[in-house]
Amino acid sequence: PVTTQGSQQTQPPQKHYGITSPISLAAPKETDCILAQKLIETLKPFGVFEEEEELQRRILILGKLNNLVKEWIREISESKNLPQSVIENVGGKIFTFGSYRLGVHTKGADIDALCVAPRHVDRSDFFTSFYEKLKLQEEVKDLAVEEAFVPVIKLCFDGIEIDILFARLALQTIPEDLDLRDDSLLKNLDIRCIRSLNGCRVTDEILHLVPNIDNFRLTLRAIKLWAKRHNIYSNILGFLGGVSWAMLVARTCQLYPNAIASTLVHKFFLVFSKWEWPNPVLLKQPEECNLNLPVWDPRVNPSDRYHLMPIITPAYPQQNSTYNVSVSTRMVMVEEFKQGLAITDEILLSKAEWSKLFEAPNFFQKYKHYIVLLASAPTEKQRLEWVGLVESKIRILVGSLEKNEFITLAHVNPQSFPAPKENPDKEEFRTMWVIGLVFKKTENSENLSVDLTYDIQSFTDTVYRQAINSKMFEMDMKIAAMHVKRRQLHQLLPNHVLQKKKKHSSEVRLTALNDSSLDLSMDSDNSMSVPSPTSAMKTSPLNSSGSSQGRNSPAPAVTAASVTNIQATEVSVPQVNSSESSGGTSSESIPQTATQPAISPPPKPTVSRVVSSTRLVNQPPRPSGNTATKVPNPIVGVKRTSSPHKEESPKKTKTEEEQLDTETSTTQSETLQTAAPLLAAQKTSSTDLSDIPALPANPIPVIKNSIKLRLNR
């Protein structure tokens, strides 16, 4: 493939990449090369390239680690009395994967590694004797074992953070030239080893499926920086993670095999702003290995049909790397693709510089309404655990909000922020996330009351239930949410975050009420009481700046359920218009990669929205006749195991003729001491809490989250 200028060069017959033929085989022109050089210069100040010296240091450290692995495996082999001839050639090897293996890691990034051992070395040996061997190395600091979905040893080796997974292969020795892409290696393997191998296998496949690795790397560096700057880089919150961005860039490289990075960045936005989701992005035709491992296949697995933005890993067993994507996150990403296309169109016409693509948009000016989510814990160690759990569940809240019939979009900012202290005298560690809301445009309706109580309450219940079930919960671990208007954000967020300072407006106070409640002084504030114990899944601790914080600590024991409360905020707010801008006008046809037989759309489910989740205050009788209208781009929310919603989601209907009374509904403040009065309170409360488990025996104050908004047009 051609990487330099010269459109006149004759090209040898090319290897075919991808599951469709390329869109264009055009070679780069001189202007493309100049633009590619300018792109490199623009990327440099962002720290996306590592110095050669630093790179050599990483290679040296991985070499030392590789020698330690070989030494350790020889020791294990001797202790198990293997023949000397075997011991001499037993091997063992450290493989890398992720951004380092792809060659797109940034300055100071960690390294994802995999220790591959022969069949006589047990997984337990890795987490005991190898762990002890690492402990003896003077360069090794911060050594820890994390019992995650794929168990891992985390360490800092001579200043570089490394995560090491373990896989034991069914081989007597591990040869130096071992190719992990060989599917036969997976036979008779423990599922944990298959999962551990998956990262390396996927990364290696991606590198083998692109026509030119250097062009792929530069393009991916640019796209990853763009995604981070635009707050759409986070697998856990329902956007895309590193491997998904890599696969989208790889697919673009396949479609334009001779193009260089300046062209590929533009084509990336062209292809994916016009992609007909949920058609899957595939880098190669999935192959069946008859190993009976679960693979992504919507023809076989009904749950796979509800994935909104499938990007399928190229190594067996094929998986969808984007199952967390929801209606809102996809809407946000597609809008960003369209804007990226418009900007790169300008760059190619010399009407703009590359720097424009990497300008960070101001999330806090974008919406009129926000939900601020606060998580607090009494110690920094507990805050890390608590923040990890809360963050892993935020997409459940987004899914719930976007199914509310009055909400078009719920956009969570992947970056978290340190929150102001509730009580200056009390030791407390607080983190907050901000979710932007777009309300549906309603016709013939002056006022509209939207009750978000159910959505918030079911989310906090889920988090508490999981914390209790996983024995992580501690007294004083709290989660709270409140509605804030754009003009009030400056009272919660640091000035440098908001960029554009707003004039002082109605006050948002964080004061200590009875039992450290959260006072949101707006048009009215009343608080009610109700419990929030909660359900279970893997946590992935994140620090307050939103970056993955690897060091997990042992889970503390449960004492009792904590106090959560949010003031009821009945507020009058202007109705938001949500309009979708159309993207660029380039007219190349994009091949949609359906799997062998095209996937027929799943049947429309008959599930309708639970009424209590969006309670309308003082709702008059509905007019007879069908007033429901379909909204543009209606697609299902978060993947659910039970009753998933589908493309024409029932949530996406709006009742246009509903005039809502302007009378405020008031709520009372009360504290429930035992489960008995709780049951009575449930009958009168506006929220459906039927699935809440019984409270712990000792009496604790429990407070209900109530968030109600009045929207007037």
Binding residues for Mg(2+): 110, 112, 163
Q: Dihedral sign for Cα 514, 458, 520, 504, please.
A: positive
Residue 531: closest CA among 457, 455, 611, 454: 457
**CB-based contacts of 511: which residues, under 8 Å, 6+ apart?**
422, 519
CB atoms near residue 476 (< 10 Å): 17
DSSP 630: B
Rg (CA), the chain: 27
Q: What is the 3-state secondary structure (H, E, C) of 243-291?
A: HHHHHHHHHHHHHCCCCCHHHHHHHHHHHHHCCCCCCCEECCCCCCCCC
160 DSSP β-pair partners? 157
Distance between CA 62 and CA 71 in Å, rounded?
14
> Residue 449: how many CB atoms within 10 A of its CB?
23
Amino acid at the residue 143: L
Q: CB under 8 Å to 411, separation ≥6 — which residues?
A: 328, 329, 332, 363, 366, 367, 435, 436, 437, 438
Q: Single out the catalytic residue among 154, 224, 478, 651.
A: 224
CB burial class (10 A; 0-12, 13-18, 19+) of residue 589? exposed
Number of residues in the chain: 713
- Among candidate residues 233, 306, 454, 464, the one labeled active-site is 233
Residues 245 and 237: their CA atoms lie apart, in Å, by 15
Catalytic site residue 99?
A: yes
Binding residues: 97-99, 106, 110-112, 163, 224, 233, 242-243
Handedness of CA 400, 480, 390, 673 (dihedral sign): negative
Residue carrying the six token digits 């918030």: 456
- Cβ–Cβ < 8 Å for 641, 631: no
Smallest CA-to-CA distance from 69 within 10, 11, 119, 131 is with 131
88 exposure class (CB count in 10 Å sphere: 0-12, 13-18, 19+): exposed
Is the distance from CB of 297 to CB of 313 less than 8 angstroms? no
Q: Which residue matches tokens 């996330």? A: 433
- CB neighbours of residue 397 within 10 Å: 26
Identify the active-site residue in 17, 32, 77, 112. 112
Cα separation, 208 vs 250, in Å, equals 10
Query: 540: which 2 tokens?
Result: 């992935």
- Residue whose entry in the numeric block shows the structure tokens 């039970």: 642
Active site residue 425: no
Q: Which is catalytic among the residues 29, 110, 303, 548?
A: 110
Give the pair of three-digit tokens for residue 162: 């490394």
Active-site position among 77, 93, 99, 244 = 99
Helix (H, G, I), strand (E, B) or coil at 162: strand
Neighbours of 29 (CB within 10 A): 14
For tokens 């209907």, name the residue: 653
Q: How many of the other CB atoms lie within 10 Å of CB of 261? A: 31
Is 17 a catalytic site residue?
A: no
Task: Estimate to the nearest angstrom the gap between the alpha carbon of 263 and the chain centroid.
Answer: 28
661 annotated active-site: no
Query: What percent of the residues of the chain are helix, what percent strand, and what percent coil, each to the nearest 5?
Result: 35, 15, 50
According to DSSP, the residues that pair with 84 across neighbouring strands are none
What is the C-alpha separation between 124 and 1, in angstroms, rounded? 47
Q: Which residues are annotated as a binding site for ATP?
A: 97-99, 106, 110-112, 163, 224, 233, 242-243
Angstrom distance (rounded) from CA 655 to CA 649: 15
* Rounded Cα gap, residues 617 and 662, in angstroms: 9
Active site residue 233: yes
| 190 carries an active-site annotation | no
Write the CB contacts of 117 (distance below 8 Å, at least 6 apart in sequence): 69, 73, 92, 125, 126, 166, 167, 168, 169, 174
Q: Which residues are catalytic?
A: 99, 110, 112, 163, 224, 233
